[in-house]
Amino acid sequence: MGEAMSAGALQTEARPAARELVRESYKSISLYSPNRAPCRIDLSDNTNMWGAPPAVRWLVGSAPDPVITRYPRAYADELKRAIAEYVNVDATSIVTGCGSDDVLDSAIRAFSEPGESLAYPDPSFPMVEIFARMNGLTPRAIPLTADYDVDADAFIASRAPVIYLCSPNNPTGTSLSRDSIERIIADAPGVVILDEAYAEFVDSNFLDLVRESDRLIITRTLSKAFGLAGLRVGYAVGSPALVREIEKSRGPYKVSSLAEQAAIAALTYDRRWVEDRIVDARDARAALTQRLRARGFSPLQSQSNFVLVPVKEAAKLAATMRNAGVAVRPFSGLTGIGDAIRITVGPLDMIDACLTALDEGQS
Ligand SMILES: *Cc1c(COP(=O)(O)O)cnc(C)c1O
């Protein structure tokens, strides 16, 4: 046997198996897998059930070649200017991303080192725990108070370098109190990320706090009120110094040219259309809430485009409703709430169909 061969064999033996090559902290992460099987009426993901904005629909069909053949702007500068105008801040205070998921993930990475912790409310947006683990952080869930506010003292005491808050909160749909948010911002040792994915559906948002605090980052999205979830556009507003760090951690070319152009159209030409759909969503929310109450349910007081309804055996009920052609999002054993289904609001015919399916599932 030649020497070269035995050296090769030895090397093979010393090599770990491919499955051992994964990052240790990734072993506890599973792929995100909500049930997205097609359903006649899908009220499970809080997207815009009234459809795509008309100018975006036109633009997507008629984009010129360079939108397809050339690279986008590295950091979506034109889109930043359109967003800056929409939220009334300077463009240097904006960072964009491939959905606000990307912005959240990049922000968490930018302001922490592996091994540190991320504090977030429970229940809240399920992706946050995954982002914490993806970035090597220890997730620290802090239960919401009985009236669905954040426990400011517990967040401050956590000493976490990154605190995530969400208002209106998903999946409860409820808003946090200004007092609690202000206290956390005033006393937290690190950066506070406030997720306002549903800001358009609430009476008053917290954007003004960004001007007062240089450690607050507010994330927003075009996936919900603006109807662009499939195109993946999100953004954050914060002090230029923090926003620049998020941009570093995010990297270039995250917003495709088509998505950038579509988002600009949605924020400008389609603004009126979007505003009208927000009014529709709020009306539908009131109608759905009232009709659920009339059936004896106790839906939470939503400030979003969805309603959370405590039920018995949510998974079983959602499966029955799915068979009847209506998808809702089930949650099992939510902290302080128990089982619940989350229903995205939509045009009244969809709400009718949803309530019919719910009645069938209950009987
Ligand atoms: C939907 C949602 C997002 C993510 O939106 P994308 O911009 O589509 O990534 C972020 N936060 C909350 C709370 C959401 O519900």
Q: How far is the CA of 131 from the centre of ligand 1 (A)?
A: 13
Mean pLDDT, consecutive 10-residue stretches, the chain (363 aa), reads: 51 80 86 84 96 95 91 96 97 98 98 97 96 96 98 97 98 98 97 98 95 96 97 98 97 97 97 98 98 98 98 97 96 98 98 97 83
pLDDT at position 10 is: 57
Q: How far is the CA of 101 from the centre of ligand 1 (A)?
A: 6
Pocket test for ligand 1, best of 174, 221, 304 (most atoms within 8 A of CB): 221
Per the document, the length of the chain is: 363
Pocket test for ligand 1, best of 44, 105, 108, 127 (most atoms within 8 A of CB): 127
Percentage helix, strand, coil for the chain under 3-state DSSP, each rounded to 5? 45, 15, 40
Q: How far is the CA of 294 from the centre of ligand 1 (A)?
A: 31
Q: How far, CA to CA in Å, does 345 sit from each of 162, 202, 302, 354?
A: 32, 14, 11, 10
Give the Cα separation of 262 and 43 in Å (integer): 24
Confirm or reject: Cβ of 171 under 6 Å from ligand 1: no
Q: Do residues 161 and 185 lie in contact, with contact meaning Cβ atoms separated by under 8 Å? A: no
End-to-end CA, the chain: 76
DSSP state of 280: H
Contacts of 217 (CB under 8 A, 6+ apart): 107, 191, 192, 193, 194, 210, 236, 237, 238, 242, 243, 246
Q: How far, CA to CA in Å, does 39 sit from each of 169, 313, 318, 319, 323?
A: 26, 21, 12, 11, 9
Could you give the 3-state DSSP secondary structure of residue 269? coil
Confirm or reject: Cβ of 243 under 6 Å from ligand 1: no
> Could you give the residue ranges of the DSSP H alpha helices within 229-309?
240-250, 257-267, 271-294
Q: How far is the CA of 9 from the centre of ligand 1 (A)?
A: 50
Cα-flanking dihedrals φ and ψ of residue 338, to 5°?
90, -155
Cα-flanking dihedrals φ and ψ of residue 228, to 5°?
-115, 30
pLDDT at position 215 is: 96
Q: Do residues 117 and 129 lie in contact, with contact meaning Cβ atoms separated by under 8 Å? A: no
Pocket test for ligand 1, best of 36, 122, 125 (most atoms within 8 A of CB): 125
Q: Do the bridges between strand 41-42 and strand 117-122 make them parallel or antiparallel, or are there none, so unpaired?
A: unpaired
Contacts of 124 (CB under 8 A, 6+ apart): 144, 164, 166, 169, 170, 171
Q: Do residues 342 and 328 lie in contact, with contact meaning Cβ atoms separated by under 8 Å? A: yes
Confirm or reject: Cβ of 123 under 6 Å from ligand 1: no
Q: Do residues 111 and 249 lie in contact, with contact meaning Cβ atoms separated by under 8 Å? A: no
Confirm or reject: Cβ of 125 under 6 Å from ligand 1: yes
pLDDT at position 14 is: 83
pLDDT at position 8 is: 53
Among candidate residues 28, 239, 217, 59, the one with its CA nearest the CA of residue 138: 28
**Other residues' Cβ atoms within 10 Å of the Cβ of residue 117:** 18
> What are the residues facing 42 on neighbouring strands?
327
Tokens of 363: 């009987």
Contacts of 140 (CB under 8 A, 6+ apart): 117, 118, 119, 120, 158, 160
Confirm or reject: Cβ of 223 under 6 Å from ligand 1: yes
Confirm or reject: Cβ of 235 under 6 Å from ligand 1: no
Among candidate residues 244, 245, 236, the one with its CA nearest the CA of residue 94: 236
Position 343: which residue type?
I
pLDDT at position 2 is: 47
Q: Scan for tokens 């200017």, then name that residue.
A: 81
Question: Which atom, in ligand 1's list, is nearest to the CA of 224?
Answer: 1
Q: How far is the CA of 171 from the centre of ligand 1 (A)?
A: 11
Q: How far is the CA of 280 from the centre of ligand 1 (A)?
A: 20
Residue 327, Cβ density class (10 Å: 0-12 exposed, 13-18 middle, ≥19 buried): buried
Work out the angle between the directed axes of helices 240-250 and 99-110 (0-180°, nearest 10).
Answer: 110
